[in-house]
Structure 1
Amino acid sequence: MEQILRPIYQERASQESTLGVVLIEKREKVSPITDTFDSVLLIITKENDTSVFTKHYTYLDKKAAMHIVTEKQLRKWLLLGTNRKIVDWLFHGRIIYDRNEFMEKLKTELKDYPFYGRKIKMGIEFAKLIRRYLEGKVFFEEKNYMDAYNHIVESLHHLARLAVLENGLPPEVTVWSQVKQMEPAIYKLYEELILSEEPIHKRLELLFLASEFHIHSRTNDGAQHIREVMERQESWTIQELHEQEELKNYSSDLEVFIEYLVEKDLISIKGVMTKSEGIFHRYYYVKS
């Protein structure tokens, strides 16, 4: 397939802004890593009109995808862990063009600094975990067991990714294979949820209790990033927190995360008088 794709990537490689080209080929009959495509071309550029530009190609019975990604977008994915396939592509793909050894240096950087972006990744995963856990618990208490089941599965996935990050590695697409080796207790929870023959409400009851323990033991580490950001100024309105560049990445999970940390006394509140009697602006701060 590389021979067929060569004119396509050579055209891109000739452009000055292109930093590297990686070819990823399907390893299984149905490959989620390549989104079922036979081949994927990942082209990294210094700059482009759009941060991600994608094209699909067909040749006889084969299909290929080309993704042109800016270096800025690539590094954002690596920092936040929001595109887990990228790590697999970089490590297992074949470099077929490398301007000034950009790709080799990037791979070395990822190997030498496995904790790259670890705090923010852990914070984001922990915030997602908290939301899914709290929402799932409400469904459970309302006896909406199927909705509760869905949420506890999602929360376990976030817990799994968090556990991998704690071990200094990026979570891969096959995160449960990683967790089985690193955190067998969490893997066992997942097994019990999906394989147990207990009634669903019994399984959920056990999982919510066990999850509470795992969440509690990880709260300080999960809150480290947001607390460090908040220490940069005396106090914050919720709007200021939403607009803070790093905290934007917490997206819709930010507010429920903050309220959870308030409850755990890791973030404090102070009231600032408004023009209306008895109503106060709510400001957030971290005790020094």
Structure 2
Amino acid sequence: MELSNLTIISGETFDESVLGVVTLRQQGNIPFQSALLHEYDRLVLMLHNELEKERIIRHSIDGDLRTQTLHVDIQALERAVSAGDNNELVTSLLGGEIIWDPQGILENLRQTILQFDQPLKERVLFMEISRFLHMYVKSKRYIAAGCIMDAYNCVLIALYHWARIEVSEGGRFPEPAVWDQLKSQNTSVYKLYEELTISTETLEQRVELVLLACEFAIMSKMADCCTMLLTILGSRNEPWSVEELLIQPGLSHLEAELPIILRKLVSRSLIREITSWADANAGDGHTVRYVM
């Protein structure tokens, strides 16, 4: 499609610095569509390089046709794919029509998702095990404090991340409607989800049952799901500090999860802690670093 035609579709003008454009329309009774289409007839996703803001949103109307336009930085879209922190962008990319892609960026990214080979699979597995462990730990702490509803909420989210792990291990990119994806695999995770949500046992009993299953799953999946982190740790002879790890590509948005997963890997003897005297400006005690 010629660039001049794109101004008609989006309701605004732009130049050839736009890397790509995807459009998504309401499509009748299709089971799952992006929530970005809610109350809109059309979504236009415009991909930019080095956008000033990570996302710019504009709304327009042409007669009865309402359009929501998202201007998104390419790094935000790539992060949504690898980290799963913005499923709506991924849904739009997979389900929309690519109408402008002169460098093939959008088509290549779409094919990367559909093929789901390494290293994307390793990145997704590590993101999900990190979040799975984090929510499991939060649920354990809530139930110990007697906050049963909060424990329930956290273990439900933990199950969601476990479901995404199961789908990924099966060779498919985990989509937003992950429970529908997982249902066909007939795994124990889906049965645990039903046990947690519809069982006749007390809420506390249900949470404790699922937490036991989560603990076993974490122990059995840690090594395989942490390949990405283990590769980084083994990429040099010197041990890594948490600060150094958090500036590595793919780890920078795991501030809450990374310390927990490092401790779990140490306790499983999959990595080692190395201690040294703290720097002068770091206070008393020892600095802890990690190595394979």
Q: How far apart are the structure 1 equivalents of 2:193 and 2:179?
A: 9
The partner residue of 1:285 within 278, 282, 291 is 291
Helix, strand or coil: the match of 1:168?
A: coil
Residue in structure 2 matched with residue 19 of structure 1 by the alignment: 19
Given the superposition, is the C-alpha separation of residues 69 and 279 from structure 1 closer, same or farther in structure 2, using an over 3 Å criterion? closer
**Residue matched to 2:244:** 240
Instruction: Give the structure with the larger helix fraction.
Output: 1
Q: CA deviation at 1:101?
A: 4.7
- 5+ residue gaps, structure 1, are none
SS of residue in 2 equivalent to 1:56: strand
Tell me the alpha carbon deviations over residues 216-246 of structure 1, each in whole angstroms, 9 at most, x when there is no partner: 2211112221111111222022222233333
C-alpha displacement of 1:166: 1.4
Q: What is aligned with 1:34?
A: 36
Which structure 2 segments of 5+ residues have no match? none
Q: 1:113 to 1:32 in 2, by over 3 A?
A: closer
Task: Give the conservation status (yes or no) of the 8 Å contact 1:115–1:169.
Answer: no
**1:244 & 1:153 partners in 2: Cα distance?**
30
Distance 1:24 1:44 in 2: 14
Shift of 1:122: 1.2
Secondary structure at the aligned position of 1:251 is classed as coil
For the aligned residue pairs, the C-alpha RMSD in angstroms reads 2.8
TM-score, L = length of structure 2: 0.85
- 2:60 aligned partner: 57
Q: Deviations over 1:140-168 (max 9, x none)?
A: 22322111101110110111111112122
Q: Which moved more, 1:188-197 or 1:66-75?
A: 66-75
* 1:134 CA displacement: 1.1
Distance in 2 between residues matched to 1:112 and 1:200, nearest whole Å: 40
Which of residues 203, 209, 214 is equivalent to 1:211? 214
Q: Is the 8 A contact 2:47 2:71 kept in 1?
A: yes
Query: 155-164 vs 66-75, which deviates more?
Result: 66-75
Within a 5 Å distance, the mapping from 1:1-288 to structure 2 comes to: 7-9=8-10, 12=13, 15-27=15-27, 32-36=34-38, 37-60=40-63, 62-99=65-102, 101-233=104-236, 234-274=238-278, 279-286=285-292
Identify the range of structure 1 (97-106 vs 129-138) with the bigger mean alpha-carbon deviation: 97-106
Taking only the aligned residue pairs, the percentage that are identical comes to: 28
Q: Secondary structure at the match of 2:98?
A: strand
Distance 1:266 1:229, change over 3 A: same
Deviant stretches of 4+, over 4 Å:
28-32, 59-62, 113-116
Secondary structure of the structure 1 residue equivalent to 2:201? coil
TM superposition score normalised by structure 1? 0.86
Whether the 8 Å CA contact 2:22–2:99 is kept in 1: the answer is yes
- Paired residue secondary structure (1:265): coil
Kept in 2: contact 1:192–1:203 (CA 8 A): yes
Partners of 2:153 and 2:92 lie apart in 1 by 29
Name the SS for the 1:24 alignment partner. Answer: strand
